[in-house]
C-alpha cells in the first residue's frame, strides 16, 4: 500500500500555509512527519483526513484518489477530544462502528484496547471520571480500533508520561510489524528516531527532505568525521586542523568537532596528522548525524 | 446516508440516557398527571354541607340595626332578621356596641331607599352593604308590583322566560376550541425551545471538546447532522408524548369531576382536520427549527457562546408565539393570515387559526409548500454550515458570516 501526497496547497484567508507539499508513505514502515510548531504538519494531516479541504493537490492511495471514509483509517488528532460524559466502552464501539466495523468486531476491538491499556475496570464509566493520563490512553486506543490499515497520529507523544510513551511505542511497533501504513507527526526528534523508518521534514509549508532515515543519516554524514580530544577545547582542535587542512569545513556539534573533508582530504591524512600532534584522542570516526542535527542543518540551509 | 442509523441511535441513547432528561421527564409527567387530576383531588377535601349550620347563620347575630321610624322597622325587620337583641335605639348605641366589639357590623336604615353600614374594622371580604342593598331593592320591587297588581309568581314567569335558540357551526367554533388549541401550542413551544437549545449545545460541545475532528474524519457531515437532528427531534417528541399521555391519563381518571363547560371546550377541537393540521405543522416546523438551531451550534466553538448565537432565532420563534396568541382574537386578520403562511411562524399560527376558523385551501397549500421547502433548504444549509464550521475552529462566526463565507470555501476547494 502506498499513500502519495501530491502538491497540496492550503491557505487560510490570504495566507498560504502549505506551498505544494508532496511526499510518499508505504505500508510496513512508520513515517515521521517532522517540523517545528506551525510548520504545517497538522494542516497537512487535517487535509489528508478531510477535516480541512486543500485548495489544490491530491492524495492518492495505490494510485487512486484517497477518501478517508472509504478506508480503514485510525486517527489521533493533535487536539484530542472524546465525549466526556459518555461511557468509555460505548463511545469506543461507536467510533469503531463509524469506521465500518460490525457491532461484534467493534466491541471486541474496543475491549482489547481497553485491556491493553489496563483500563478494564473503567470501561463502563464516563470518560470524565478518568485521570488526564488515562483519558489520553483511551484517546490513543480509539486510533487503534478496528485494526486500521492506515494509522495517522498527530503529535501522539505530547503530554504522555515516560511509561505511557513506552506502551505507545510498543503499540506502534506492533502495527508496523503487521505491515500497516503509519504516519506520525512530531516535533520531538528522539521519539521519531526511535520509532520511524522514514522521515519527512516540513518547514514553513515546504518539504525540506523526505526519505529513508538511515540513508539520510548516511548521506548527511558522508565525508564527515567526528573528532574530540581530551585536554583541548573543540576550538583549539579546530584551529590546529584548519591550519593544516584549510580546505576542511569545521562544525561544532554537541561536544565534538565535525570535519567535512569535501573529498579533498582522506581519513588517513587526518589520522597521521593527529598522531603527529600526540593528542589524547577521545573520539575519532565516521560522523552519523542525529535526526536533530539533520533537522537543524536543513532548516538552517533553508533560511 | 451511510452511518445515519448508527449516529441516530447513539445520539438518541445519549440524550435519553442522561439523568437530567429522565428526571425532568418524570417531574413534568407527574405535574401533568396531578394537574389534570385536580378536579378529582379537590373533592377529597370538600366537606358535605351541614343544613343545621346553614340555618344557624341566619339571622346574622353579629350585625346590629337602627331604624329611623317604626314603619321602616315593620317593612324591613323580617327580611333582615332583626330581633330585640340586635335592635338599637340610635346610632350612638350602635357605635358603642361596635367599639366594644359586641357587634361585627351595624346598619342604620334612614328610608326605604337609603341606609348606612358601619364597621369598626372592615375586612376584605365584607359584603354587608351589598346584601343590605339587595334587600332594599327587593322590598322596593315587591311594593311596586303590589301597587301595580302584579303577583311575584307572574313576575318570575316573565323574567325566567327562555326562548329556544340552537347554534349550528359549519366551520370552527372558536369558543369551544380555544383551550385545547392553547394547551397544544404551549406544548410545541416548550419542546422547540428546549430541544432547539439542546441541539445547538450538542454540536457546539463536539467542537469545544474537539470530538468533531474525529467524527468528521469518520462519517459524512450529512449523516452526522441528520442523525443528530433526528435524535433530538425524536427525543423531544418522546418526552412530549410521555407528558401528554400522563395528562391524558389524569384527565380520563378525573373526567367525571370536570365541569361540563371544560369538557365541551376539550372535545371541540379534536376534529380529524385539526389533528392533521396540528401534527403536520408542529412536526415539520419543529424539525425545521432543529436544523436552524443545529446550524447556529455549528457557528460557535464554545458551549458558552451558544446562548448568544441562538438569541435571534429564539426571538423569531417567540414572534410566532405572539402572533398565535393574537390569532385567538382576530383569526382572519392580515397578521394572522401572513403568520399562518410564513414558514417560521406557521407551525404555531396555522394550527391556532385552523382551530378558530376554516382555512381557505389556497392559504393552506401555500403554507404547506413554504414550510416543506424551508425545511429542505434549512436541512441542506445546516449540513453545509456544519461542514464549514469544522474548518473554522476557534472564533465565533455567526450565521450570516457562515452563509457569506461558505461559497468562498467551496470555490477554493473546487
Give the predicted TM-score (pTM) of the model: 0.73
Tell me whether A52 touches chain B (CB under 8 Å): yes
Beta carbons of A53 and B219 less than 8 Å apart? no
B210: closest chain A residue by CA? A81
Per the CB < 8 A criterion, the answer to whether B217 and A49 are in contact is yes
Q: Which of A50, A90, A97 sits opposite B217 (nearest CB)?
A: A50
pLDDT of the residue at B53: 44
pLDDT of the residue at B399: 64
- The Cα B67–Cα B69 span in angstroms is 5
Q: How many Cα atoms sit within 13 Å of A149 on the Cβ side?
A: 15
- Return the number of CB contacts < 8 Å for A and B: 67
- The Cα B216–Cα B213 span in angstroms is 5
- The Cα A140–Cα A168 span in angstroms is 8
Beta carbons of B14 and A86 less than 8 Å apart? yes
Tell me whether B47 touches chain A (CB under 8 Å): no
Mutation target to probe the B interface, by most B beta carbons within 10 A, among A51, A132, A143 is: A51
Q: Which helix (H) or strand (E) holds A268?
A: helix A267-277
Beta carbons of A94 and B6 less than 8 Å apart? yes
pLDDT of the residue at B301: 82
Beta carbons of A50 and B412 less than 8 Å apart? no
Beta carbons of A51 and B413 less than 8 Å apart? no
Assembly ipTM: 0.78
Higher-confidence position of A107 and B155: A107
Tell me whether A80 touches chain B (CB under 8 Å): yes
Beta carbons of B391 and A52 less than 8 Å apart? yes
Q: Which of A51, A79, A90 sits opposite B217 (nearest CB)?
A: A51
Tell me whether A81 touches chain B (CB under 8 Å): yes
Over the stretch A219-257, which tens digit does the pLDDT of each residue have? 887 788 889 999 898 889 999 988 998 888 888 887 889
Over the stretch A30-79, which tens digit does the pLDDT of each residue have? 999 998 888 999 999 999 998 888 999 999 999 999 988 888 899 998 88
Residue B65 pairs in a beta bridge with B87, B107
Tell me whether B273 touches chain A (CB under 8 Å): no
A71: closest chain B residue by CA? B218
B205: closest chain A residue by CA? A83
Tell me whether B209 touches chain A (CB under 8 Å): yes
pLDDT of the residue at B40: 86
| Residue A114 reports pLDDT greater than 80 | yes
Mean pLDDT in consecutive groups of 10 residues from the start of chain B, 414 residues: 88 89 91 90 71 43 89 88 89 92 90 90 81 88 88 84 78 67 86 91 86 86 91 91 91 87 70 86 94 91 87 89 89 94 94 88 96 96 85 60 60 38
Q: Output the CA–CA distances (angstroms, integers) from residue A98 to A49, A85, B4, B308, B385, in the order listed.
A: 14, 19, 10, 32, 21
List, as one string, the DSSP characters of A174-214.
Answer: HHHHTT-EEEEEES-HHHHHHH-SEEEEEETTEEEEEEEHH
Mutation target to probe the B interface, by most B beta carbons within 10 A, among A69, A128, A151 is: A69
Contacts with B390 from chain A: Cβ below 8 Å: 51
| Residue A148 reports pLDDT greater than 70 | yes
Tell me whether B111 touches chain A (CB under 8 Å): no
Contacts with B18 from chain A: Cβ below 8 Å: 85
Mutation target to probe the A interface, by most A beta carbons within 10 A, among B213, B224, B404, B407 is: B213
CA of A96, closest CA in chain B: separation in Å?
A: 9
pLDDT of the residue at B20: 85
- The Cα A36–Cα A44 span in angstroms is 14
pLDDT of the residue at B341: 96
- The Cα B10–Cα A94 span in angstroms is 7
Mutation target to probe the A interface, by most A beta carbons within 10 A, among B6, B208, B210, B217 is: B217
Q: Would you call B366 exposed, middle or buried from its count of C-beta atoms within 10 A (0-12, 13-18, 19+)?
A: middle
Per the CB < 8 A criterion, the answer to whether A87 and A122 are in contact is no
Amino acid at each position: 500500500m502506498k499513500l502519495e501526497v501530491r502538491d497540496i496547497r492550503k491557505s487560510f484567508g490570504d495566507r498560504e500555509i502549505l506551498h505544494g507539499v508532496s511526499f510518499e508513505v508505504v505500508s510496513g514502515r512508520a513515517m515521521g512527519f517532522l517540523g517545528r510548531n506551525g510548520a504545517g504538519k497538522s494542516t497537512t494531516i487535517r487535509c489528508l483526513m478531510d477535516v480541512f479541504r486543500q485548495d489544490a493537490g491530491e492524495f492518492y492511495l495505490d494510485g487512486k484518489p484517497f477518501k478517508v471514509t472509504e478506508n480503514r483509517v485510525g486517527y489521533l488528532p493533535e487536539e484530542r477530544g472524546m465525549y466526556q460524559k459518555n461511557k468509555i466502552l460505548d463511545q469506543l464501539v461507536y467510533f469503531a462502528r463509524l469506521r465500518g466495523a460490525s457491532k461484534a468486531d467493534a466491541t471486541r476491538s474496543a475491549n482489547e484496547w481497553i485491556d491493553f491499556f489496563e483500563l478494564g475496570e473503567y470501561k463502563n464509566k464516563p470518560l470524565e471520571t478518568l485521570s488526564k493520563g488515562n483519558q489520553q490512553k483511551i484517546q490513543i486506543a480509539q486510533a487503534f480500533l478496528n485494526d486500521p490499515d492506515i494509522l495517522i497520529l498527530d503529535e501522539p507523544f505530547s503530554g504522555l508520561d515516560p511509561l505511557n510513551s513506552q506502551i505507545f511505542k510498543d503499540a506502534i511497533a506492533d502495527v508496523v510489524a503487521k505491515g500497516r501504513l503509519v504516519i506520525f507527526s512530531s516535533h520531538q526528534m528522539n521519539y521519531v528516531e526511535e520509532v520511524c523508518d522514514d522521515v519527512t521534514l516540513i518547514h514553513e509549508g515546504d518539504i525540506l527532505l523526505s526519505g529513508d532515515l538511515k540513508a539520510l543519516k548516511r548521506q548527511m554524514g558522508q565525508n564527515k568525521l567526528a573528532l574530540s580530544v581530551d585536554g583541548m577545547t573543540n576550538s583549539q582542535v579546530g584551529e590546529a586542523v584548519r591550519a593544516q587542512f584549510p580546505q576542511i569545513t569545521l562544525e561544532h556539534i554537541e561536544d565534538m568537532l565535525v570535519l567535512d573533508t569535501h573529498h579533498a582530504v582522506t581519513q588517513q591524512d587526518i589520522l597521521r596528522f593527529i598522531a603527529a600532534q600526540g593528542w589524547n584522542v577521545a573520539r575519532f570516526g565516521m560522523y552519523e548525524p542525529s535526526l536533530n542535527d539533520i533537522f537543524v542543518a536543513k532548516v538552517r540551509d533553508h533560511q | 446516508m451511510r452511518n445515519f442509523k448508527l449516529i441516530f441511535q447513539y445520539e438518541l441513547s445519549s440524550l435519553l440516557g442522561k439523568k437530567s432528561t429522565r428526571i425532568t421527564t418524570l417531574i413534568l409527567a407527574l405535574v401533568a398527571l396531578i394537574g389534570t387530576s385536580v378536579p378529582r383531588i379537590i373533592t377529597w377535601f370538600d366537606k358535605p354541607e351541614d343544613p343545621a349550620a346553614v340555618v344557624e347563620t341566619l339571622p346574622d347575630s353579629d350585625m346590629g340595626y337602627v331604624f329611623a321610624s317604626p314603619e321602616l322597622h315593620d317593612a324591613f325587620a323580617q327580611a333582615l332578621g332583626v330581633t330585640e337583641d340586635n335592635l338599637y335605639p340610635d346610632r350612638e348605641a350602635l357605635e358603642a356596641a361596635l367599639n366594644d366589639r359586641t357587634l361585627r357590623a351595624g346598619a342604620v336604615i334612614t328610608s326605604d331607599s337609603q341606609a348606612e353600614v358601619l364597621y369598626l374594622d372592615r375586612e376584605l371580604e365584607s359584603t354587608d352593604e351589598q346584601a343590605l342593598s339587595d334587600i332594599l331593592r327587593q322590598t322596593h320591587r315587591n311594593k311596586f308590583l303590589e301597587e301595580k297588581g302584579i303577583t311575584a309568581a307572574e313576575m318570575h314567569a316573565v323574567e325566567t322566560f327562555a326562548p329556544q335558540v340552537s347554534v349550528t357551526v359549519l366551520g370552527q367554533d372558536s369558543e369551544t376550541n380555544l383551550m385545547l388549541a392553547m394547551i397544544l401550542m404551549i406544548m410545541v413551544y416548550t419542546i422547540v425551545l428546549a430541544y432547539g437549545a439542546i441541539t445547538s449545545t450538542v454540536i457546539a460541545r463536539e467542537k469545544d471538546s474537539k470530538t468533531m475532528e474525529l467524527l468528521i474524519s469518520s462519517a459524512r457531515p450529512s449523516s452526522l447532522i441528520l442523525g443528530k437532528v433526528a435524535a433530538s427531534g425524536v427525543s423531544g417528541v418522546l418526552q412530549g408524548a410521555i407528558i401528554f399521555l400522563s395528562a391524558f391519563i389524569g384527565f380520563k381518571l378525573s373526567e367525571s369531576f370536570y365541569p361540563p363547560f371544560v369538557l365541551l371546550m376539550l372535545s371541540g377541537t379534536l376534529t380529524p382536520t385539526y389533528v392533521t393540521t396540528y401534527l403536520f405543522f408542529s412536526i415539520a416546523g419543529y424539525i425545521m427549527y432543529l436544523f436552524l438551531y443545529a446550524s447556529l451550534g455549528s457557528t460557535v466553538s464554545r458551549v458558552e457562546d451558544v446562548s448568544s448565537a441562538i438569541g435571534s432565532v429564539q426571538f423569531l420563534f417567540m414572534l410566532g408565539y405572539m402572533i398565535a396568541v393574537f390569532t385567538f382574537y382576530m383569526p382572519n386578520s392580515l397578521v394572522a393570515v401572513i403568520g399562518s403562511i410564513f414558514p417560521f411562524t406557521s407551525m404555531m399560527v396555522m394550527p391556532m387559526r385552523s382551530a378558530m376558523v376554516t382555512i381557505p385551501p389556497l392559504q393552506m397549500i401555500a403554507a404547506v409548500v413554504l414550510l416543506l421547502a424551508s425545511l429542505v433548504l434549512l436541512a441542506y444549509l445546516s449540513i453545509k454550515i456544519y461542514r464549514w464550521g469544522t474548518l473554522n475552529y476557534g472564533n465565533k462566526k455567526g450565521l450570516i458570516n457562515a452563509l457569506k463565507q461558505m461559497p468562498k470555501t467551496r470555490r477554493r476547494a473546487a
